[in-house]
Structure 1
Amino acid sequence: MSTLDMTPGAQIPRTDVGNQTAVTQALSSAAYRTGEYKELEGLAGVKWKPGRSELFRPSAGEAFSRALIDRTLSAKRLPLVPSFGTDARMVVEHCLAAQDLRDARDRQLSLITLVFGIAFLPGALIWLAAYQAKAWLGRNRSAARDGFYGTLALLLACGLALLFALRPPVSGPWSLYVRVMMLAPVAGWLLAKRIVVRSVLAQRARWGDLVGGNPVAATVPKAVPRDHLDKQAVDLKAALDRLGAEQETNIHHYAGSKGILGVGARWGDWGLREDLRPAEGHEDFRVFHTADLTRRIIERLGRLTSSEVPNGGMPKATITQWVVQDIPEGADEIGRPGGADMDQFRMRDFAVQEVANRQTFGSDPRHRIAIQYVLHKGQLVTTMLVEVVVLHNNLQVHVTGHALGPLVPWFGAKPKPKEKDIPKTFRRWENQTVQLPLVDDDEVVRQAVRAPFHRMPTLLTFLGGSIGLPEPFCMRQAWTDPTWASRFKSDDAIYASTPVVNTIHASVLEFLAEHDISIERFTNRSNILKSEMQGSRPYRVDKYDAG
């Protein structure tokens, strides 16, 4: 009899993500944004898919959470590009936690909508028609007249409410219903506003804590199975586990001038190329496999954390072996090989070694050693890739530098009070800043209308609209600023390249000497490269100027 995994899983608050904290929390904060969905249109690659009614439009946090959950946890989703320097699973868990907060709010709003809206449907429909007219007129930003007409629509609804209350068009028992039919939705609106304000304050508090650097646990109770029949929770937990495992893949994709997806475009390239000749006093050199040399390089790179100078060691790097596939620059999907060589999302070690040993000139995939540093709390991911190639008796060791910069400023913005500049009463030529209500009338109506459909996200997407994410999707690389816009980050990317390249060259020379190979020419080439690296500057390696 099989046993069910009842471990708490996603319910355990996971706040320690090491050097990934800043980026992970900034991305997570987007799940709690309370602004308009139009904020998301400024993000690269994000496309708004309009719905049928402005009344059902999502907020920025609702649209972001729904898009990210669908893209990462759906059973039929496309493969994801790894998000280096980011705990992708934690970001998605925050989206689920934000969704839980809004579901709790929507359950209360649904009850109010049922009592004060459905029970007095004719009046509620008149009020909704007025708000729909106001929202429709507000689409055109050109005009103060649109605001005038929207206000006029609400005034007409107010006039009808007073008219029906004072002079109902029917008599008898129905006259009482007509009298309160327009007033009951107003009472419901007052109750709904209290719930909405409380929910908005809770979301903005989490948003502010995450952006401010305070750890906020993402608790997802619905991902914890309560018994062996809780299939929905089991499936959600499995989807989260699958997302975490997929982020650890060693299969990566080169997309033309975009570079290797997830690490950013190359900014530097250093090649050591020389013929293999027996050392003096030897007729021939000892045969070796390229995988033997890559293992020696990996071993020596692990020593970069130590230094003879106190505190001179480099931060601990993640050193792994990758298998890189080539895809078209405009591809909107990535794929991964299958078969016995794969262990879920990772290629098995023996298969990786075969790729390293096999002559891949003129074919793919290719083998790379990846040395990756996550710096500035995840705002900088600098990656050095090493390729070892032997063509005839010519050994070539290529080292390339890649840098992934900080997130765009939108993700780091803190919640601010709503303000508006208006002319002073007696000095019309001067302006004054006034505080606006955190939750306005339109927001209360929007949330109350959406609430009864919170268990039907597909219908809400159809009615209110949704966002499309850039493909192939990488949560980390999709919304980054150039590394070179920040002096410290760009300097650190450049500084890290020199000791890494020097260590690689030292390990190559050591290995060749052990195999009775003349290292004189290799040493000269290495010294030339060291001289060139004294003036390292970033440039576009992946964009060839070939007319």
Structure 2
Amino acid sequence: MGAELSFDGGFGPGAQIPLQGSDGQMAATHALASAAYRDGPVDKILEANNEWHESTVKKGKFSLFEPDLGEAFSRAVQVRLLGGARKALIQSFGTEPQPVVEHCLAATRIRKQRDTRLTLVTFLFGILFLPGLLLWLGVFQLRRTIAGASDKKAGALGTALLAGVGILAVLVMVALPFTGFLSFYLRAMIIAPALGWFLAKRICETTAKDLRARWDSLLSGGGIGAKIPEAVPQDPGQSAAEELRQALEKLTAEQHSNIVFYAGAKGILGMGTRWGSWTLAEELVPKEGREIHDFRAWDVVRPIHDQLKLLERGSLKTGFPKPTVKHWIVSPVGEGAKEVARPEGENIVTFQVKPHEIQRICNDQQFGSGNRHYLGVQFTLWDGQLVLTMMITVTSLLHTLRIEVTGHALGPVHGLFTTKPAPKTKEVSKTVRFWETKEIPLPLVETNEVVRQAVRAPLTWFPPVLDFLGGKLVLPEPFGLRHAWAAKPWGNRFMADDVIRAATPVMRAVHAATIKVLDEHGVDTERFTNRSLILSGMVQEPMPRKADLYDA
């Protein structure tokens, strides 16, 4: 799902706004994009780590400068997906990464507007009264350290410390031993940062409401689009905007690449682990009184491709949704590989292997080193939360033809990304009926959070400095937005049923097309038909397994 650019002759005033896909499969995309607008501790995202991919949080020097979840997520995703020297990406099946990145850019833009106002407040009420600002910041950092960096609410000791410093400040203001300008400055030095905090709180509250509204809107149907005018060049001299536009186009092109990577027990990266495998392998024997007409693997693959295209046309009214049938080139990488390298050369254009090269790999690279050809049929279900992929490979060695069908399943994004913003409340006892309780609303932005945002604001334009002081989110590699935070589908009974049910009709369609081709080329298909019937019984076993883990 790309964004539509509105401009005349390459330049214009429009902004990039993601459009709703015709198939409506945007739930997973919106869930991931909502992370850009979230608040709360960045460590929360570690709950979404899965069996094969784990993100980490690199701590900074001072907890007062640490980012929240939305800030860290937006920064990490932008750098990883749009960076000039970025590594290759893994496709995000079931989602579109470009809208996610656009929402990260939009969230960053909103925060920068907030930080501009906070910087002005910090300068007027903080930098001009620097000794008082440093005193208050020291108190808040000490209070935060006592409470623990991961706990945004200070304990009793930290609160007592803050109250004690406040009382001491009042005493100093009343009984200053100085007169003249110095006495006025010392008094203002204590008051100004507190007054600046009040103004900063209003700014932070307004921005927090805006971010939470966008967060809620995405999970409710995506009513608010991502506005990023900085991605649309206004004139030929805006090189930064042009580079950003090209980076977004490159991201979309790589998302639609027909090259995937097989990483041992991790399966095909981005498609999920292999949960089932069924092999039809028999000797090619001519029919009685006839000779086998020569054919190659590609001659078998093409009819299978055409047959899979017809899966949605069932005899019953209820059947498959429209599948995506595609030729894939699978490149092997190590199970523990931290990066992948996309093949390059004259046979590859915009991350796509050319059709004639696909046919050559299908016919010639079936044994030994090198990339392999697979024919895949993919179903995107549950609004993009479940991706089923059946991969078919055809190989022929000597007189044996082997047709292998494997199933891959990519589950929903972690539940962390699908939680809506909850109002901040506190449960207290009623005044009269003290045995009963009630909930009272709390401010969206607490005192510590206002101080944190105000301190970070002047450094917003120097992200590497903020990363050093406050820490950052480290994404798992090889990185792809979808599989990095995907849960297993087996926890949902209906999803598991969909995964298992899809295998039987796909495999039978593959076998039917194969046997038809063999029959046309003079092959005795009795053995293939018998073996197909056996596999039809085996595939009905309701037991997914880890087909890439070999007990050897």
TM-score normalised according to structure 2 size: 0.94
Return the match for 1:211 from 201, 219, 225. 219
- Please say if residues 90 and 269 of structure 2, whose CA atoms lie closer than 8 Å, have aligned partners that are also in contact: yes
Structure 2 Cα separation of the partners of residues 39 and 141 of structure 1? 10
Matched, 1:256 2:264: yes
For residues 353-432 of structure 1, what are the structure 2 equivalents within 5 Å? Answer: 353-421=359-427
Q: What is the Cα deviation at residue 351 of structure 1?
A: 1.2
Q: Tell me if structure 2 keeps the 8 A contact 1:10–1:237.
A: no
Residue 51 of structure 1 is matched in structure 2 by 60
Residue 206 (structure 1) shift: 0.8
* Distance in 1 (alpha carbons) for counterparts of 2:90 and 2:14: 24
Distance 1:482 1:17 in 2: 27
Taking a change above 3 Å as real, the CA distance of residues 7 and 253 of structure 1, as seen in their structure-2 partners, is: farther
Deviation at 1:101, TM superposition (A): 0.8
Q: 2:19 aligns with which of 11, 14, 17?
A: 14
8 A Cα contact 1:20 1:87, kept in partner: no
Report the secondary structure of 2:101's partner residue. helix
Candidates 272, 291, 297, aligned match of 1:290:
297
One-letter code aligned to 2:105? L
Q: For 2:26, what is the secondary structure of its paired residue?
A: helix
Alignment equivalent of 2:204, drawn from 187, 192, 196: 196
* 1:121 is the counterpart of 2:130: yes
One-letter code aligned to 2:98: R
2:490 to 484, 487, 512: 484
AA aligned to 2:156 is F
1:456 aligns with 2:501: no
Pick from 541, 544, 547 the counterpart of residue 550 of structure 2: 544
| SS of corresponding position for 2:84 | coil
Quick one: distance in 2 between partners of 1:362 and 1:392? 15
Deviation (angstroms), 1:454: 1.1
2: CA distance, partners of 1:427 / 1:133: 39
Post-superposition CA distance 1:100-126 (Å, at most 9, x none): 111111111111111111111111111
1:62 to 45, 64, 71: 71
Question: For residue 226 of structure 2, what is the amino acid of its counterpart?
Answer: A
1:340 equivalent in alignment to 2:340: no
Picking from 346, 349, 356, the partner of 1:350 is 356
Counterpart selection for 2:525 from 508, 513, 519: 519
2:321 aligned residue (315, 322, 325): 315
Q: Which moved more, 1:426-435 or 1:255-264?
A: 426-435
Cα 1:10/1:475, change in 2 over 3 Å: farther
State the 1:183 CA deviation: 0.5
2:30 paired residue number: 25
1:42 aligns to 2:47 (yes or no): yes
Cα distance change on mapping 1:9 and 1:300 into 2, 3 Å: farther
1:144-183 correspondence to structure 2 within 5 Å: 147-183=155-191
For 2:232 and 2:172, the matched residues in 1 are separated by 52
Q: What is the CA-CA distance between 1:240 and the residue it aligns to?
A: 0.8
Mapped to 2, the partners of 1:215 and 1:321 lie a distance apart of 35
Greater shift, 97-106 or 204-213, is seen at 204-213
Which stretch has the larger CA shift, 158-167 or 363-372? 158-167
Query: Given that residues 365 and 371 in structure 2 are in contact (C-alpha distance below 8 angstroms), is that contact kept between their aligned partners in structure 1?
Result: no
Q: Distance in 1 between matches of 2:13 and 2:342?
A: 31
| Secondary structure in structure 2 of the residue aligned to 1:225 | coil
Offset of 1:485 from its aligned partner?
0.8
2 CA distance for matches of 1:286 and 1:330?
A: 45
Partners of 2:249 and 2:322 in 1: CA distance: 26
CA distance in 1, matches of 2:167, 2:313: 79
The more displaced of 11-20 and 346-355 is 11-20
Q: 2:473 aligns with which of 467, 470, 479?
A: 467
Query: How far, CA to CA, are the matches of 2:319 and 2:157 in structure 1?
Result: 67
The answer as to whether partners of 1:15 and 1:216 remain within 8 angstroms in 2 is no
Sort the Cα spacing of 1:517 and 1:373 in 2 relative to 1 into closer, same or farther, 3 A. same
Corresponding residue of 2:108: 99
Q: Provide, for residues 262-313 of structure 1, a one-character-per-residue CA deviation record: whole Å limited to 9, x for no partner.
A: 111111111111111222331x21111211211111111111121233x234
Contact 1:285–1:515 (Cα < 8 Å) also in 2: yes
The alpha carbon displacement at 1:7 in A equals 6.7
Tell me the alpha carbon deviations over residues 212-270 of structure 1, each in whole angstroms, 9 at most, x when there is no partner: 22433111111000110100101111111111111111111111111111111111111
Q: 1:142–1:154: structure 2 CA closer, same or farther, 3 Å change rule?
A: closer
Structure-2 residue corresponding to 1:446: 452
Alpha-carbon offset, residue 154 of structure 1 = 1.6
Partner of 2:541: 535
Aligned residues: 541
Amino acid corresponding to residue 333 of structure 1 in structure 2: E
Shift of 1:378: 0.7
Q: Give the Cα–Cα distance (whole angstroms) in 1 for the partners of residues 13 and 529 of structure 2.
A: 56
Q: Relative to structure 1, is the Cα distance of residues 169 and 371 closer, same or farther in structure 2, using a 3 angstrom cutoff? A: farther
SS of alignment partner, residue 119 of structure 1: helix
In the alignment, is the contact (CA less than 8 A) between 1:164 and 1:182 conserved in 2?
Answer: no
Q: Contact 1:21 / 1:378 at 8 angstroms: preserved in 2?
A: yes
1:410 Cα deviation from its structure 2 partner: 0.6
Post-superposition Cα deviations, 1:364-387, rounded to whole Å, max 9, x if no partner, equal 211100100000101110000000
- The CA deviation at 1:431 is 6.2
Alignment-mate amino acid for residue 55 of structure 1: L
1: CA distance, partners of 2:276 / 2:436: 54
> Judging changes above 3 Å, is the alpha-carbon distance between structure 1 residues 143 and 435 closer, same or farther for their aligned structure 2 residues?
closer
Q: Of 490, 509, 513, which aligns to 1:503?
A: 509
- Asked if 1 retains the 8 angstrom alpha-carbon contact of 2:41 and 2:150, the reply is no
Aligned pair in 2 of structure 1 residues 383, 399: CA closer, same or farther (>3 Å)? same
Q: Which residue of 2 aligns with 1:304?
A: 311
Deviates more, 1:9-18 or 1:269-278: 9-18
Shift of 1:165: 2.8
Contact 2:57/2:471 (8 A) holds in 1: yes
Deviation of the 1:510 alpha carbon: 1.1
Larger deviation, residues 407-416 vs 4-13: 4-13
What secondary structure, in the 3-state scheme, does the structure 2 residue paired with 1:40 have?
helix
Q: Deviations over 1:128-158 (max 9, x none)?
A: 11111111111178999x7233123322331
Cα distance in 2 for partners of 1:478, 1:403 equals 14
* Sequence identity percentage: 45
- Does the CA contact (< 8 Å) of 1:29 and 1:207 recur in 2? yes
**Structure 1: distance between partners of 2:150 and 2:462:** 31
